[in-house]
Amino acid sequence: MLIMGVMAIAIARIRDLFAVSMLSGIFSLTAAAAYVVLDAVDVAFTEAAVGAGISTVLMLGTLALTTRQEKVTGGKSKGTAAFFVVAVTGAVLIYGTFDMPRYGDPIAPIHHHVAPRYLEKSFGEVGMPNVVTSVLASYRSFDTLGEVFVIFTAATGVLAILGRAGRRRREDEIADETVTARSDDASPDKDKETAS
């Protein structure tokens, strides 16, 4: 968790967008490793595939359309206001965790409502031996479908933007070649050659 915290601070502070993309991928891989330690291998696989894989590719594709360096706009007052909002939000979230049960507490409400049903009836209702897979693929299938739809929409948007940018670059190259060819045709040296 300490490594993830350091990476999150580095992502927020670095101005090189390529480095931010790479650190985001590394952050996702670190989160996937944390999920493996917590015995949530399926969630770790999803985090590695989506967070480190697809998200990093989309961010790198977006970098093809922009510059590598972030342009800093606004004065110090905007940064101070943003920091204040983040600090207050963080304090409220931390305050909200004081009423939560400890991690792994057997008398937590989650262990008395849905979890026993999933553990007892998952194999009979879904037919999958892994409870996590049955929850993600059956009980929460609409949620999983929504996540897939969001990723598909993001990928389609980035590909559309990249395709338009590539077309614009080709048009600019053709226009530059046309201007260069016309300037070569109208050069004074060519006029002298045709006159003689």
Residues 6+ apart with CB under 8 A from 4: 27, 30, 31, 34
| Between 181 and 119, the higher pLDDT residue | 119
Residue that finishes a domain, picked among 18, 52, 71: 71
pLDDT of residue 186: 58
Confirm whether 78 is domain-assigned: no
| Between 36 and 79, the higher pLDDT residue | 36
DSSP 109-173: GGGTTTHHHHHHHHHHHH--S-HHHHIIIIITHHHHHHHHHHHHHHHHHHHHHHHHHHHHHHHHH
Share of the chain above pLDDT 70, in %: 78
Confirm whether 156 is domain-assigned: yes
| Between 24 and 189, the higher pLDDT residue | 24
How many whole angstroms from its chain centre is CA 87? 23
Residue that finishes a domain, picked among 44, 71, 98: 71
Confirm whether 120 is domain-assigned: no
Confirm whether 171 is domain-assigned: yes
Given pLDDT bands bounded at 50, 70 and 90, which one contains residue 18? confident
Phi, psi of 67 (to 5 degrees): -85, 165
Mean pLDDT of 132-152: 81
pLDDT of residue 92: 96
Q: Structurally, how many domains does the chain consist of?
A: 2
Whole-prediction pTM value?
A: 0.51
Residue that finishes a domain, picked among 71, 86, 117: 71
Confirm whether 84 is domain-assigned: no
Per the structure, the complete domain to which residue 160 belongs is given by: 140-196
Confirm whether 174 is domain-assigned: yes
Residues 6+ apart with CB under 8 A from 165: 64, 65
Confirm whether 79 is domain-assigned: no
| Between 194 and 60, the higher pLDDT residue | 60
Confirm whether 48 is domain-assigned: yes
Mean pLDDT of the chain: 79
pLDDT of residue 155: 79
Mean pLDDT of 56-78: 72
pLDDT above 60 for 196: no
